[in-house]
Amino acid sequence: MNKNTVLGWATFIMIVEGLALIALGAFRYNEIAGWGFASVGLGFFAIAWVFNALKGRV
């Protein structure tokens, strides 16, 4: 696997984890903890966006 493949897989895994965290925040934890899970999920999306932008440049 080259660097672009690794970044592609990392992006995919981060998106799946971000969706899982947002789903936990929305459906499992209805209190204040749900907001924390959802915000961390959005952070995972931001990091996945950076990984996707780095493909082809590293």
Tens place of pLDDT per residue across the chain (58 aa): 888 899 999 999 999 999 999 999 989 888 888 899 999 999 999 999 998 898 888 7
Number of domains in the chain: 1
Q: For the chain, what is the largest distance between any 2 Cα atoms, rounded to a whole number of angstroms?
A: 43
Residue 26 has which token pair? Answer: 């929305």
Phi then psi dihedrals of residue 26, to 5 deg: -85, -40
* Distance from C-alpha of 18 to C-alpha of 47, rounded to nearest angstrom: 10
Domain ranges, residue 35: 3-54
* Helical spans, DSSP H, in 3-57: 3-23, 32-54
Q: Are the CB atoms for 8 and 49 separated by under 8 Å?
A: no
